[in-house]
Amino acid sequence: MGSLFAFTLLGLFTGAAYAIMASGLVLTYTTTRVFNIAHGAFGMVLAYTFWDFTQRQGLPTLLSLLLVLGVVAPAIGWFVQRFVTRGLGEGPVSVALVVTVGLLVGLIGLAQQIWPPEPRVLLPFYPETGWQMGDTYITAHHLITILCSIVVAGGLYVLLNRTRIGTAMRASVDNPELLKLFGGKPDTVAALSWAVGMSLAALGGILLTPVVNLDYYALTLLVINAYAAAMLGRLKSLPLTFAGAMTLGILESWAVAYLPTDGFWSTVRPVIPALFLFAIVVAMPQAQLRIGQVKGIVAAPVPGLGKSVGWGAALLLFALLVINVAAPNQVLLIGTAATYAMVMLSLVLLTGYGGHVSLAQFTFAGVGALAYAKLDEPNLLGLALSALIAAGVGALVALPVLRLTGLYLALSTMAFAVLMDKMIFQAEFAFKFNGTLQTERLSVLGFQIAEDTSYVWFMVLAFVLLALLVLVLRRGALGRLLIAMRDSPSACGTLGLDMRWFRVGLFALSAGIAGLAGGLFAGLRGSVGAADFLYFQSLLVLLLAVVFGVTSVTGALLGGTALMLLPEWQASAPELAGLLFAILGFGAVLLGRDPNGLANHMFKGSRWGWARLAPSFDEKLGALLPRGIRRPRAGLDENDRYDEDKLVPIADPADVETTMVIKGVR
Amino acid sequence: MSVPILEVVDLHAAYGRIEVLRGVDLAVPKGAVMALLGPNGAGKSTLVKVISGQKEQTSGDIHLAGVNVRHRRSDELARVGLCTIPEGRSVFPNLTVQENLTLMSYAGVPTPAILDTAFGYFPRLHERRHQLAGTLSGGEQQMLAMSRALASDPALLLLDELSMGLAPLIVDELYDTVARIAQSGVSILCIEQFARTALRVSDYAAVMSGGRIVASGEPGEILDTMADVILGGAA
């Protein structure tokens, strides 16, 4: 019985630290509607800052703590609200998520750049002090943490419910314009809540560092614990968030105490937050449908079938050329790029068209790869089965979140990615801890594609076919549904569409595409392991997809190529590895507001250039060619052969100008 | 004649390329109640937005008590005595009645005084002070919104479509409150689509159509001459 008490007390300590973190997250979410996935990452950076102040600069502990919590953290919070997240709350959830994922990746890169990896120790507060209570030993650090959480809880309650500025914080969520008419300043209020939230992230990070160590990723992942706890209070209620955090802390502590220390069950502890989250999500009530916010969403153009087949063929030819010219190891890289591009294609369908964010897309590729390796059927059937299995897993992830909004789906996917990464992929029946599985190259109709070059070309072919599939879906009735659902779920509801199962189907389809990519990737590599499918990779996939344009197939292709190049560049300049992450992350912060990305700017540029060049080009062409075989212009059909005596049929006012030019030449 | 509390001179405003206000000229004398009437799409609400600082004009000037208020933000204007009650329910639905009233103290009057005034005028709000404002009936919400006008003692009150979506009986009650506020010396610009109730309490009236003021004068004259414009020919 004594040990139960001891472990519960230990659990209360971690729970208290989680509560501090989670309350900061809830504060910023409820007052600005921006869900800060990078909350843990900020905690991580600030814990490193605290280490820097105390250990490297040698400042006294209390002074450093005051500096970090009272100056650095609020300043960062103010800065982030002012320049990064302002106005994100009113936009689609996916944009805010992508921007904060960008912050997360950027902060990890920044931390690696400023504090290169080396063992660092951050001691608990008053390490020598402690009290014996029965057979339980409580350290001063534990007590401080629990006291801090009580102070935070009380302080936040008073701030939000008893002060005018706290009331204004809650009011600014309801209606910032009205708050201005009352004489309040919504921006100041939001900046204050970000400042407080950041300080809480810092405090939580610093208090937890002696437990989880100064590690870029472990501290960043604390955000999952935080939002799992906050889910109990539906990301709104602070008291329930505290209850959730305490429960989570105690569960973790009990898992350490009572679960076997080896085998499968030993891997459960790190994934308890994820399991906790799924358990809560299943029990949550139906969310209300949101009225759409169509303003400002301009989609990238969707090419017609002819055009897409043409470009696909061009890409295949180009790939054939490059594959035959490139060195053998570079051929494999092209295969990797094709894999990434296919995974991003699944995001085009899900995020670009459907408006849902998945933070686990590469994990689904991992599921596909695992299935491909385990099935040991290196043929099209095996590949199709792997894709189906990945799709099934995708449906399983989306199923609990059926009744909730897109934010919960995205948060669940991140928890799922970590769950797979830390538990399933490392289990005995999967890749095993640090293990790999051997895979064979794919055979099509009995012929094995053994050559690297032909296999990679086959992967490019798979990308082209998938891209055509996605485009055909987009142009069809399904595409219209997707766009309608993204724009206004409540309008779709009034039309009688059942979006819930449709959403699960969409998610499954997207996971299936990613799984197919994973299966092909496994075939390419010959051996795959858990290390190939880290959850962090999924975040990079999302970021690069958005930077290059998640609404177009071209964006996926470019993004895939860039993601393949990223580790190559990092390997060629290891000292800049962190900086590249930082650039990518903060670049996504800048570009995340426009999901059409760089690809769309490219389209615009080429359209602009074409509009300038086409007329003069036609003029020259017209002069060169003999009269009889002159090519009809686009916009005029074959049978609209124009004659001087007849009127020129005009399909579209935009074509007027070019048609005139043609007439002028004749 | 003293300086008018609100003077709008040749005001233009546009949403993108679509010009909505095309040279509005309007003056509200100090202490007067002016009704601004006009059909849908005349630009009435846009005028309110520009005066209250929620929207920037493209050209023209606005003077509040003789001071040009170009480039002033709406929260600054609210703090110096411009009270705007926008279209629809202008309350915070997820805050309690009392918290809504607390926020009204930004305009300069201390919270206890606001609570006193509001609960004095509308005992119903006192009964429901711990209830979320979003759960009040439409009329009660509008009472809560009017409390701000009552309690914060503004120099100028802008009322946008007070009657929207409310039963005629409640609209009458609300306009009684408007009349009471007017008696205390507050100048009011009151925008309405439905003319008769507003004209009952106003000293002057103006009619807006197509982004301009097309007529102004005594309420009686306006009603006689402009019936087809303001009432769309239906009255």
pLDDT in tens, A248-274: 999 988 888 888 777 677 778 778 888
Q: What is the pTM of this model?
A: 0.84
In a domain, B98, yes or no: no
Smallest Cα distance from A27 to chain B, Å: 16
Sign for the CA dihedral angle at A481, A484, A487, A488 comes to negative
B124 within domain boundaries? no
Considering only alpha carbons, which residue of chain B is nearest residue A187? Answer: B75
For residue A176, the chain B residues in CB contact (below 8 A) are none
Tell whether A160 lies on the interface with B, counting CB pairs under 8 A.
no
Domain assignment of residue B26, given as a range: 6-86+154-230
Q: Among A114-123, A272-281, B136-145, B223-232, which stretch is predicted with the lowest mean pLDDT?
A: B223-232
More confident residue, A622 or A430: A430
Cβ-defined contact of B78 to A182 (cutoff 8 Å): yes
pLDDT score, position A635: 43
What residues of B are in contact with residue A175 (Cβ under 8 Å)? 92
Q: How many domains does chain B have?
A: 1
> Which residues of B are less than 8 Å from A171 in CB distance?
92, 95, 99, 103
Alpha carbons B18 and B130: distance in angstroms, whole number: 44
Q: Hey, are the CB atoms on B95 and A168 less than 8 Å from each other? A: no
Work out the mean pLDDT of chain A and round it to a whole number: 83
Task: Determine, yes or no, domain membership for B179.
Answer: yes
Q: In what order do the strands lie in the sheet with B156-160?
A: B82-85, B156-160, B187-192, B33-37, B204-209, B212-217
Nearest-angstrom CA–CA distance, A341 and A319: 14
Which residues of chain B does A182 touch, with a Cβ-Cβ cutoff of 8 Å? 75, 78, 103-104, 106-107, 148
The reply to whether B60 falls in a domain is yes
Q: Is the pLDDT of residue A22 over 90?
A: yes
Q: Is A619 exposed, middle or buried (0-12, 13-18, 19+ CB in 10 A)?
A: middle
Q: Are B81 and A159 in contact (CB under 8 A)?
A: no
Residue B20 sits in a domain of what CATH number?
3.40.50.300
Q: Answer yes or no: are the C-beta atoms of B2 and B35 closer than 8 Å.
A: no
> Is the Cβ–Cβ distance between A212 and A189 less than 8 Å?
no
ipTM confidence score:
0.90
Among the partner-chain residues A174, A177, A185, the one whose CB lies closest to the CB of B95 is A174
Contact A175 B148 (CB under 8 A): no
Q: Is A95 on the interface with B (CB under 8 A)?
A: no
What is the predicted pLDDT for the residue at A636?
41
A624: contact with B, CB 8 A cutoff: no
Q: Is the pLDDT of residue A390 over 60?
A: yes
> Is A181 in Cβ contact with B103 (below 8 Å)?
no
B110-137 confidence digits (pLDDT tens): 999 999 999 988 899 999 989 999 999 8
Asked if A181 lies within 8 A of B54 by C-beta distance, the reply is: yes
> Of B184, B179, B125, which Cα lies nearest the Cα of B171?
B179
Cβ–Cβ below 8 Å for B54 and A183: no
**B110 inside 8 A of chain A by CB:** no
DSSP string, A13-67: HHHHHHHHHHHHHHHHHHHH----TTHHHHHHHHHHHHHIIIIIS---HHHHHHH
Contact list, B90 vs chain A (CB under 8 Å)? 178, 181
Interface of B with A in 130-159 (CB under 8 A): 148
B59 occurs within a structural domain: yes
Name the residue among B90, B99, B108 with its Cβ closest to that of A178: B90
Q: Nearest-CA distance from A163 to chain B in Å?
A: 9
B74 touches chain A (CB under 8 A): yes
Alpha carbon dihedral B8, B12, B13, B19, in 10-degree steps, equals 140
* Structural domain includes residue B1: no
Query: How far is it, in rounded angstroms, from Cα B42 to Cα B209?
Result: 5
User: Of residues A282 and A224, which shows the higher confidence score?
Assistant: A224
Contact B106 A184 (CB under 8 A): yes
Q: SS3 for B60?
A: strand
List of residues 6+ apart from A455 with CB closer than 8 A? A335, A441, A442, A449, A523, A524
Name the minimum distance, in Å, from the CA of A401 to any CA of chain B: 25
User: What percent of chain B has a predicted confidence (pLDDT) above 70?
Assistant: 95
B95 CB neighbours in chain A (<8 A) are 167, 170-171, 174
Structure-token pair, residue A209? 């560092």
Share of residues in chain A with pLDDT > 70 (%) = 90
User: What is the nearest CA distance from B75 to chain A, expressed in angstroms?
Assistant: 4
Any A CB within 8 A of B125 CB: no
Contact A512, A366 (CB under 8 A): no
Dist. CA A303–CA B105, nearest whole Å:
56
Contacts of A271 (CB under 8 A, 6+ apart): A418, A419, A422, A423
Which residues of chain A are within 8 Å of residue B104 when distances are taken between CB atoms?
182
Residue B104 lies inside a defined structural domain of this protein: no
- How far is the C-alpha of A89 from the C-alpha of A84, rounded, in Å? 11
Beta bridge partners of B191: B36, B160
- pLDDT of residue A298 exceeding 70, the answer is no
Strand partners, A443: A379, A448
Report whether A411 contacts A535 (CB < 8 A): no
Asked if the structure places residue B200 within a domain, the reply is: yes
pLDDT of residue A289: 64
**CB–CB of B103 and A171 under 8 A?**
yes
Asked if the Cβ–Cβ distance from A181 to B90 is below 8 Å, we say yes
Amino acid (one-letter) located at A358: S
A117 DSSP assignment: S
Instruction: Look at residue A659 in the predicted model and tell me its pLDDT.
Output: 34
